[in-house]
Amino acid sequence: MKTLDLIGSAASNTFRSKTRTILTILAIFVGAFTLTITNGLGTGINRYIDDTVTSIGAEDVMTVSVTQDANAGFGDATGPAEYDPDAVVSGGFSRPGSTVVALTPDDLDALATIAGVLDVEATKSISPDWIQYGNGTQYLSSVGALVAGQTVQLAAGGAPAADSDALELNVPSSYVESLGFADADAAVGETLTIAITDAERTQHFVDATIVGVAEESIAAPGAGGLVVNTALTDELYQTQNVGIPADQQERYAQASIRFDPAATDAEITALKDRLTDAGFTGTTVADQLGTFKTIIDAIVLVLNAFAIIALLAASFGIVNTLFMSVQERTREIGLMKAMGMGSGKVFGLFSLEAVFIGFLGSAIGVGIGMIVGTAISSLLSGAILADLPGLTLIAFDPISVAVIILVVMAIAFLAGTLPAARAARADPVESLRYE
């Protein structure tokens, strides 16, 4: 019997006992469906993080701060932290009131001399009072400056020009209606007023041009506030520092350094070690997102484990189905062997039946899983995930889908080896006598 004949015979024999085969396929379907959904969940979330990674920083940028004790700025169980004249209030997602040791111009110069550092840029903290369009309502907002290499996901317009002398900014899409614009396109080209108070308690007003409207995301610069260019950052920072002694103005919570974009993981680790030796702590974008991805991957792994358990349970169904088939076809097996079919081909025939059952169950499970996953993702994108534009919660990668089908077929093949081996070992004379 030729290979194609063997495959055709295996496919036709699969449905000799339709009820038993369908139940086995349904068991495989449950595992494949679950595996497809869980993998799609991991793919969707990780893809969203990868798509927004440059909103946190370019891949060749490292955030640097002065190394300090784990509890520095927090005090201990017996009382508050001791005042440190060299500390500044930390930004980002630190605990309220926490401080870090300030970076000074000397520190920035020291960073520039470390091997592997191509450029150093201080991160300037700006705290505006409010923003206003025309004579409209005044709103609170934060300010975030773009580091070279960062990008902004835009709903309209363009990103602020980093090398322009004009004062330019992006407003988040959630501000458009509140500020009084008909839509995102209507906001582009208009002037926004930013109020900021200096150290002498004098309020100043800075006008800047809206050049684009940014989509909000979990990694948006300015934490969903204004995204400004270098010229506007400098203008706001200088205005905010009016009245502060010159030697106190250049004190920064952190800085950004650039390194070779082609640097390997080993070279980046070596750069971090050099920073540590110099008294600094460096964090890359991968470090910042690593925890999120690790948690997501761990959750997906646990969910996949349940799917694998379901598939293993289904494999016992395959074993039972084929053992019953071997039992029912004992005389047929003896006749095939008597007519010259070798043990290898008999083994192959029943193994192919197992693989075919696995293929049907996995293909149906993957297909329906993709349909259901896409529907759920679309439904959630217009409801509870509407504030995360660009997120496809359950996404599917063709390679992952193919791997799922192949894995299920491999499990089915392994499950079918026992009954297939029993059929291959059958004695033709005894089989023909079987009643």
CATH of the domain at 136: 2.40.40
Under 8 Å between Cβ of 128 and 235: no
Under 8 Å between Cβ of 295 and 302: no
290-331 pLDDT, tens digit each: 667 777 778 878 877 877 887 787 788 778 777 777 777 777
Q: Determine, yes or no, domain membership for 282.
A: no
Q: What is the pLDDT of residue 12?
A: 74
Mark whether 372 and 238 lie in a shared domain.
no
Mark whether 130 and 12 lie in a shared domain.
no
Q: Determine, yes or no, domain membership for 38.
A: yes
Q: What is the pLDDT of residue 412?
A: 86
Domain limit, last residue, from 250, 279, 309: 250
Q: Determine, yes or no, domain membership for 111.
A: no
Mark whether 134 and 239 lie in a shared domain.
yes
Query: Would you give per-residue pLDDT tens digits along the chain (435 residues)?
Result: 566 766 777 777 777 777 888 888 888 888 889 889 988 888 887 777 766 655 555 677 888 888 865 544 444 445 555 555 555 545 444 444 455 678 888 889 999 999 999 989 888 888 899 999 999 999 998 887 766 556 677 889 988 988 889 999 999 888 999 999 999 999 999 999 999 999 889 999 999 999 999 876 554 544 468 889 889 999 999 999 998 887 777 888 888 888 988 889 899 999 999 999 999 998 887 776 666 777 777 887 887 787 788 778 778 877 877 777 777 777 777 777 777 777 888 888 888 888 888 899 999 999 999 999 999 888 887 777 766 666 788 888 899 899 999 988 898 888 888 888 877 777 766 766 655
Residue whose entry in the numeric block shows the structure tokens 């927090």: 74
Give the range of the structural domain holding residue 148, as residue numbers without chain letter.
Answer: 124-250
Mark whether 308 and 185 lie in a shared domain.
no
Mark whether 301 and 429 lie in a shared domain.
yes
Mark whether 241 and 296 lie in a shared domain.
no
| List of residues 6+ apart from 4 with CB closer than 8 A | none
Among 133, 196, 192, CA closest to 168: 192
Under 8 Å between Cβ of 381 and 392: yes
- Helix H or strand E encompassing 206: strand 203-214
Mark whether 185 and 305 lie in a shared domain.
no
Q: Determine, yes or no, domain membership for 374.
A: yes
Domain count, the chain: 2
Side chain identity, residue 386: A
Domain limit, last residue, from 234, 250, 266: 250
58-107 pLDDT, tens digit each: 677 888 888 865 544 444 445 555 555 555 545 444 444 455 678 888 88
Measured distance CA(21)–CA(358) in Å, rounded: 11
Q: Determine, yes or no, domain membership for 388.
A: yes
Mark whether 418 and 298 lie in a shared domain.
yes
List of long-range contacts for 285-294, beta carbons under 8 Å, 24+ apart: 285/53, 285/56, 285/57, 285/58, 285/59, 285/61, 286/59, 288/56, 288/57, 288/63, 289/49, 289/53, 289/56, 292/49, 293/46, 293/49
pTM over 0.75: no
Q: Determine, yes or no, domain membership for 355.
A: yes
Other beta carbons within 10 Å of 77:
4
Q: Determine, yes or no, domain membership for 88.
A: no
Q: Is 35 exposed, middle or buried (0-12, 13-18, 19+ CB in 10 A)?
A: buried
Domain limit, last residue, from 223, 250, 277: 250
Mark whether 240 and 328 lie in a shared domain.
no
b/e map of 94-128 (b: 16 or more CB within 10 Å)?
eeeebbbbbbbeebbebbeebebbeebbbbbbbeb
Mark whether 316 and 429 lie in a shared domain.
yes
Q: Determine, yes or no, domain membership for 152.
A: yes
Under 8 Å between Cβ of 7 and 13: no
Mark whether 311 and 377 lie in a shared domain.
yes
Mark whether 147 and 209 lie in a shared domain.
yes
Measured distance CA(322)–CA(420) in Å, rounded: 8
Q: What is the pLDDT of residue 265?
A: 86
